[in-house]
Structure 1
Amino acid sequence: MSQKERIIEQTMRMLVAQGIKAVRMDDIAHQLSVSKRTLYELFGDKESLLYLAMVCYFEQNRRNWENLSVQAPNVLERLFLVLNEVMEHSETTRRMLENLRKFYPAVYEKLLHESTDRNRQDFRAMLTQGIADGLFIDNINIELAITVLYYTASAITMRRDMMLPEGISERSAFTQIVSTFFRGISTAEGLKIIDEFLKRQNDEI
C-alpha cells in the first residue's frame, strides 16, 4: 500500500469513528505521523482528501456486499443480503452524508451523483439476471423498477423524519417493504425463494 493509499484509508477510518466535522488536517497528519505539507502536496486540499476517503468508504462497503453475495445461491437472495447490509450500515452512512451535505456540499453532490449511478448499474444487472433466471417476470420496466427500489430503500435507510407505525423497527419495516416490492415483480419460483429466505431469516432471530 502506497503512502497516499494509507492516508486515504486511515482518514476514512477517522471519519467513521469521529465524524467529518471533527477531523482536521492537523489530526490526520498527527495520526499518520506525516506533515500537513505532505498532505497538501498529495491531495491539494481537505475537500479532495475527504472525497477520496468517502470513495474508500463506499468501496469498502461494496467489497463487503460482494463477499456476502458469494454465499447467495441466486440473485434474489443476493439482493436481500446486499440490502440488509445497506441497512446495517445505514446510520453511519446517513450521519456522514448529512455532515458532508452541511459542511462540504460540493463533495456531497459529487459523491451522491456517482453513488446513485453505480447503485443503479448494480440493481440493473441483478434485476436483468433475475429475469434471465426466471425469478422476475420479463415484462417489467427495469428502469422504473430500479427507481422504485432505490428510492424505497433510501427512504428507510437515509431519512430520520420518516414516520413508522408504532411498534415497528426500521429493520422490520425495511424487510417488509423490500420483500413486498420483490413479490410484486417475482414469478412463482421467485415467490417461493422469497418465502423460504424470509422463513430462514425469522428462524435465526
Structure 2
Amino acid sequence: MKEEILQKATDLFLNLGFKSVTMDDLAHEMGISKKTIYSHFENKTRLVEESTMNLFCVISNGIDHIVSLKKNPIEELYEIKKFVMSHLKDEKASPQYQLQKYYPRLFETLKKKEFEVMQECVVDNIERGIEIGIYRENLNVQFVSRIYFSGAISLGDHDLFPSSMFTKVALEDYYLEYHLRGIVTPKGRKILNSIINSNQE
C-alpha cells in the first residue's frame, strides 16, 4: 500500500503541484482514509520527501541504463532528455519551482544529488564525444559540465522562463541544442542536425 500511495502522490504532485495537493485530495483520489496514509507517512512533508527522492532514484537509474548502452554521445543526451521528460509528465505544475519555494531544504538536498548524478554523466558524455571527434578537443570539461548543470537548473525559474512564453518541452529542446552547438565539431554538427531534422518530421 505504501508504494501505491507514493506512486499516486507523485503523479498528483507533478500534475497539480506540491502546494495544492492535500492529504484529503490524495485519500479521495485513492478511495482510502487519511488514517491509512498517515500510517505510512507521518505528515505531508515526509510524503513530499519520499516521493521526490523515489522519483529521483527512478530517473537516476534510467539515466545510468541509457549511459550503459554507450550510444553516440549526442544521441545519448537526446535519449536522456526524452526519458526524463516522460517521467516528469512535462512538469505541468513546475515541481522544481514549488520545491524551492515551499520546501527549500529538500530542494537544496535534491539539487546536490542531481549535481552528483548529472556531473558524472555529462563529464563522461563530453570525454567520449571528444574521443570520437564529435566534440571539440579544446573544451574545458569541468567548465562545460558545470555550465550545463547550472543552465538546466535555471530552466525551472519561472521569472526567467515564464510558462506563458515557453512550454517545458520547447525549453528543453532549445537548451539541449544550445549546449551541443557550442561544443560540437563539424562531424558532430552533422549528427546533431540529422537528429533535429528527424525530430521535426
CA contact (8 A) 1:51 1:111 kept: no
Number of aligned positions between the proteins: 198
Closer, same or farther in 2 for the Cα pair 1:72/1:112, shift >3 Å? same
Closer, same or farther in 2 for the Cα pair 1:32/1:84, shift >3 Å? closer
Match of 2:12 among 4, 7, 14: 14
> 2-side partners of 1:196 and 1:159: how far apart?
30
- Tell me by how many angstroms 1:86 deviates: 5.6
Unaligned runs of 5+ residues in structure 2 are none
The equivalences for 1:86-165 within 5 A come to 92=91, 95-155=94-154, 157-162=155-160
Q: What's the TM-score once normalised by structure 1's chain length?
A: 0.73
How high is the sequence identity, in percent, across the aligned residues?
23
Give 2:115's aligned amino acid.
T
CA contact (8 A) 1:20 1:96 kept: yes
- Tell me by how many angstroms 1:4 deviates: 1.6
- Tell me by how many angstroms 1:24 deviates: 1.9
- Tell me by how many angstroms 1:174 deviates: 5.6
> 1-side partners of 2:77 and 2:84: how far apart?
11
> 2-side partners of 1:173 and 1:28: how far apart?
30
Unaligned runs of 5+ residues in structure 1 are none
- Cα-to-partner distance string for 1:106-162 (whole Å, 9 max, x where unaligned): 22222222223222222222223323333223442221111122223343x312333
CA contact (8 A) 2:135 2:188 kept: yes
Closer, same or farther in 2 for the Cα pair 1:18/1:180, shift >3 Å? closer
The equivalences for 1:1-205 within 5 A come to 3-61=1-59, 74-83=72-81, 92=91, 95-155=94-154, 157-162=155-160, 175=173, 178-202=176-200, 204=201
Closer, same or farther in 2 for the Cα pair 1:26/1:92, shift >3 Å? same
- Cα-to-partner distance string for 1:89-122 (whole Å, 9 max, x where unaligned): 5962762222222222222222222223222222
Once structures 1 and 2 are overlaid, which stretch shifts more, 73-82 or 167-176?
167-176
Closer, same or farther in 2 for the Cα pair 1:198/1:35, shift >3 Å? closer
